């Protein structure tokens, strides 16, 4: 049987459709508010992280392709931070024309830790402000949005498992991360509000890697992770 006849028989049998429905979701694109080794700002003139200010401004714009979203986020993040934060993002977008403002089902998860009173780190009033305005902006933009605020690692991981199930049936999934963060070697971490001390040994139990968070985004067309936290290494 030649290739053309074989493909026709597959299409007629419905096997091609079944394959498309079970294909793996596209890998999440990760957008960092700042470069590796750099701190980010908790409060700008709008009261929160400049990256959050950029998202609130950009996400409600229409039409909003991935390429336009990326360009406008990079510019707004730089302007609102007065040049302090330079967005780190994929330079090659796999689907630059895909729309963030369209899709039958779009879901978002907002992960923010603002209260660090149980750790040696300072609490973040800007992140607390972002916990109000970021979910509101995403909801206005048409995303079914879940906020997880000041959770410990166990509750945060549970929320990620639930979001993975939810996003599996979505066209677009977006995860926003705010709070204290760190980068050690190539691993970027989101720190829990009860992170004890300043030793790297606590990362496994009191922090979650951005890679693990990104794996919870399983939408069929587009998966985005927006990381607003620091990428310095406080453990050296």
pLDDT (tens digit per residue) in 206-232: 999 999 999 999 999 999 999 999 999
In a domain, residue 1? The reply is: no
Reported confidence tier of residue 33, pLDDT bands at 50, 70, 90: very high
The pLDDT score that the predictor gives to residue 151 is 96
In a domain, residue 7? The reply is: no
Residue 161 has pLDDT above 70, yes or no: yes
Residue 118 has pLDDT above 70, yes or no: yes
Count CA within 13 A, CB hemisphere, residue 56.
18
In a domain, residue 19? The reply is: no
In a domain, residue 6? The reply is: no
The pLDDT score that the predictor gives to residue 159 is 98
- List the Cα angle 149/225/194 in 5-degree steps: 35
Do 50 and 77 form a contact (C-beta atoms < 8 A)? yes
Reported confidence tier of residue 11, pLDDT bands at 50, 70, 90: very low
Q: Domain residues for 213? A: 28-227
Average pLDDT over the chain reads 91
In a domain, residue 102? The reply is: yes
Residue 21 has pLDDT above 90, yes or no: no
The pLDDT score that the predictor gives to residue 1 is 43
- Runs of H (alpha helix) within 14-49: 15-21
Q: Give the domain CATH number at 160.
A: 3.40.50.1460
The pLDDT score that the predictor gives to residue 22 is 59
Q: What is the pTM for the complete model shown?
A: 0.90
The pLDDT score that the predictor gives to residue 48 is 98
In a domain, residue 17? The reply is: no
In a domain, residue 90? The reply is: yes
Tokens representing 193? 């509000």
Reported confidence tier of residue 236, pLDDT bands at 50, 70, 90: confident
In a domain, residue 12? The reply is: no
Sign of CA dihedral 35, 83, 72, 178: positive
Residue 31 has pLDDT above 50, yes or no: yes
The pLDDT score that the predictor gives to residue 103 is 87
Q: What digits encode the pLDDT tens for the residues 57-106?
A: 999 999 999 999 999 999 999 999 999 999 999 999 999 999 999 989 99
Residues 139, 131: Cα–Cα separation, whole Å = 13
Reported confidence tier of residue 53, pLDDT bands at 50, 70, 90: very high
Report how many domains make up the chain.
1
Residues 64, 78: Cα–Cα separation, whole Å = 19
């Amino acid at each position: 049987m030649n290739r053309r006849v074989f493909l026709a028989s597959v299409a007629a049998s419905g096997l091609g459709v079944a394959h498309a429905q079970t294909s793996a979701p596209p890998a999440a694109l990760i957008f960092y508010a700042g470069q590796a080794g750099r701190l980010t700002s908790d409060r700008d003139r709008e009261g929160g992280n400049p990256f959050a200010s950029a998202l609130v401004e950009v996400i409600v714009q229409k039409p909003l392709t991935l390429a336009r979203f990326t360009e406008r986020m990079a510019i707004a993040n730089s302007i609102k931070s007065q040049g302090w934060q330079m967005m780190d993002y994929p330079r090659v977008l796999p689907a630059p024309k895909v729309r963030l403002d369209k899709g039958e089902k779009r879901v978002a998860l907002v992960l923010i830790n603002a209260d660090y009173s149980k750790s040696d780190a300072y609490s973040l009033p800007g992140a607390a402000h972002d916990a109000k305005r970021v979910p509101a902006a995403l909801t206005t933009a048409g995303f079914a949005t879940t906020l997880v605020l000041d959770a410990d690692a166990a509750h945060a991981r549970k929320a990620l498992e639930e979001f993975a199930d939810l996003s599996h049936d979505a066209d677009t999934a977006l995860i926003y991360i705010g709070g204290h963060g760190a980068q050690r070697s190539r691993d970027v971490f989101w720190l829990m509000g009860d992170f004890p001390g300043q030793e790297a040994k606590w990362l496994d139990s009191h922090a979650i890697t951005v890679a693990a968070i990104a794996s919870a985004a399983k939408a069929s067309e587009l998966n985005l992770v927006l990381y607003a936290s620091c990428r310095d290494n406080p453990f050296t």
